[in-house]
Amino acid sequence: MMQKGLIILICLLLAVSNSFAQQQSSKEELQKRQKEVQDIQKEIDALNNTLTSIQHNKKQSLNQLAIVQRKIVMRERLINNINKDLHRIEEDMYAKELEINHLKRELDTLKQNYAKSIVFAYENRSSYAYLNFLFSSSDFNDALKRVAYLKSYRQFRETEAQTIIKTQDLLQQNISSLNNSKTEKSSTLQTQSSQLKVLEDDKKEKDQVVKQLKDQEKDVQAQLKKREREKQQLNKALEAAFKRAQQEAIARQKALDEQKKKNIAGNIVKPSNETAKTNPATSAAPKSNEPITGVVTAKDNSSREYNVFESTPEGKEMSINFENNRGRLPWPVSGGVVTDHFGKQSITKTLTELNDGILIGTQVGSTVKCVADGEVSVIGDLGDYQYVMVQHGKYFTAYNKLADVNVTKGQAVKAGTVIGKAAEDFDGGGKIEFRVINEKGKFVDPERWLKPR
């Protein structure tokens, strides 16, 4: 009976430690999810603020539709998080119910065993029974063993009583936690219901904007055509600027190679026997098949594939700095939301648009800043807007839809340097376009480079 009681006590301690570990894990997961929900809600609030600022225009625009569509996406993501919370709460409640039932069974077993031990102690409470148990020993060692047994049996009864109390406390804690989970589930269900209603309102708002856009089909087509013309102009300008920068880098590399060859040829001098003996290393001329350039070594001495834009230490350093901050670059504007993401975007069921960067809705006149150290490569004018292209070693960033520009061509800029101000878009709201170009001259998703908001 003593062994069984000890086993129950050990199982109880293991259950307590496992329960604590599960609570810690659930707490961390809950905090992470709460942070995600807060970030989603912040973006929804920002979208609502941006939408409110442009709704004074009687004509519906593509910008308004993009914001409403983004709101729906974020609202659905928010509801999905709420559903995950509900699933977590239900799993937690089920686990607690199992634990409560298990503890009740353990408590019943402990009470029964304790009752038996009390009855046994009562029936053998007389001194005569105690002495009879001792004097019936076969020898002195056996008597000592019986004394130790009686002492341990008394300690075991005390341990059993403490185990019963601890089990009762743990049972009450689980019952209280279960009640809290039930309350949390009820509150979460109410939140889910309210968010579903708001989602329906968002969808109705989208349908209304789409309907009005259909009624204003000529205006929509005009906006799309104007966007496409601007995009083509900007693409040509950025492509030409990239090629010029590439040609300049190639020419600079050739000049460096020629200079290295001259330096090597000038340093090849036949050493004297005395010099060769004292300094054997200087007597070996460079091998003719040894490449002059090929692999550029970064500051951490790790090898990186050579690129013509990294022929100078400055170019290599800017490239490495840009790469090391992938996913952590600051946003070009402090406020605003992404209304149009990179790649193919559906405007309506029949209208789609291909974006080479991202469009960020913001306030007119908002400060636009450089995202990394670099050098201003190009400043251009598209008529209604201006744009700036900045080189960061083998990478480039482009800032379009600027009302004015605060930098000059060839200027060295730092992360945070003011590039210009956000211009007014079709609907009266502010908007900028941000692009990232890799070493091959291809547009890549800027949001993969910017830090999460």
- Residue 300 confidence (pLDDT): 45
Q: Would you say residue 278 lies in a domain?
A: no
Is the Cβ–Cβ distance between 326 and 436 less than 8 Å? no
Residue 168 lies in a domain: yes
Let me know whether 18 and 61 are in one domain: yes
* Rounded Cα–Cα distance for residues 451 and 446 (Å): 10
Most confident of 19-28, 302-311, 362-371, 427-436: 362-371
Q: Exposed/middle/buried for 247, CB within 10 Å: 0-12, 13-18, 19+?
A: exposed
Q: Are residues 238 and 170 in the same domain?
A: no
Tell whether 208 and 256 lie within a shared domain: no
Question: pLDDT of 201-250, one tens digit each?
Answer: 999 988 888 787 777 777 777 777 888 888 999 999 999 999 999 999 89
Same domain for 362 and 395, yes or no, is: yes
Same structural domain for residues 205 and 244?
A: no
Could you write out the DSSP letters of every residue in 221-280?
A: HHHHHHHHHHHHHHHHHHHHHHHHHHHHHHHHHHHHHHHHHHHHHHH--PPPHHHHHH-G
User: Are 398 and 238 a contacting pair, CB within 8 Å?
Assistant: yes
| CATH number of the domain residue 234 falls in | 2.70.70.10
- State whether residue 185 is helix, strand or coil: helix
Angstrom distances, CA of residue 434 to CA of 245, 357, 401: 20, 6, 9
Boundary (domain end) residue, out of 172, 189, 215: 215
In this prediction, what percent of the chain has a pLDDT beyond 70? 75
240 inside domain: yes
Q: Specify the number of domains making up the chain.
A: 2
pLDDT at 14: 61
Q: d(Cα 399, Cα 433) in Å, to the nearest integer?
A: 6
Q: How far apart are CA 394 and CA 320, in angstroms?
A: 9
pLDDT class for 60, splitting at 50, 70, 90? low
Report if residue 275 sits inside a domain.
no
- Whether 79 and 177 share a structural domain: yes
Instruction: Identify whether 197 is part of a domain.
Output: yes
Q: Say yes or no: 247 and 206 in one domain.
A: no
pLDDT in tens, 309-331: 988 888 899 999 999 999 999 99
Q: At what angle do helices 62-123 and 2-54 cross, to 10 degrees?
A: 160
Query: Considering the domain boundaries, does residue 353 fall inside one?
Result: yes
Quick one: what percent of the chain has pLDDT higher than 90?
28
Q: Say how far apart CA 99 and CA 95 lie, in whole Å.
A: 6
Quick one: 173 and 304 in the same domain?
no
Indicate if 242 and 183 belong to the same structural domain: no
Do both 194 and 250 map to the same domain?
Answer: no
Q: What is the mean pLDDT of residues 391-401?
A: 96
Pull the structure tokens for residue 84: 């995950």
What domain range includes position 185? Answer: 2-215
**Average pLDDT value for residue range 186-207:** 90
Does residue 107 register a pLDDT over 70? yes
Residues 297 and 324 grouped into a single domain: yes
Q: Cβ of 318: how many Cβ atoms within 10 Å? A: 24
Q: Is residue 432 assigned to a domain?
A: yes
Which of 215, 244, 278 is the endpoint of a domain?
215
Q: Which is more confidently placed, 191 or 294? A: 191
Residues 108 and 61 grouped into a single domain: yes
Is the per-residue pLDDT at 161 higher than 70? yes
Angle between helices 62-123 and 140-215 (to 10 degrees): 160
Cβ–Cβ < 8 Å for 365, 403:
yes
What's the angle, vertex CA 444, arms to CA 439 and CA 446, rounded to 5? 115
Domain membership flag for residue 286: no
Among 215, 238, 256, the domain-final residue is 215
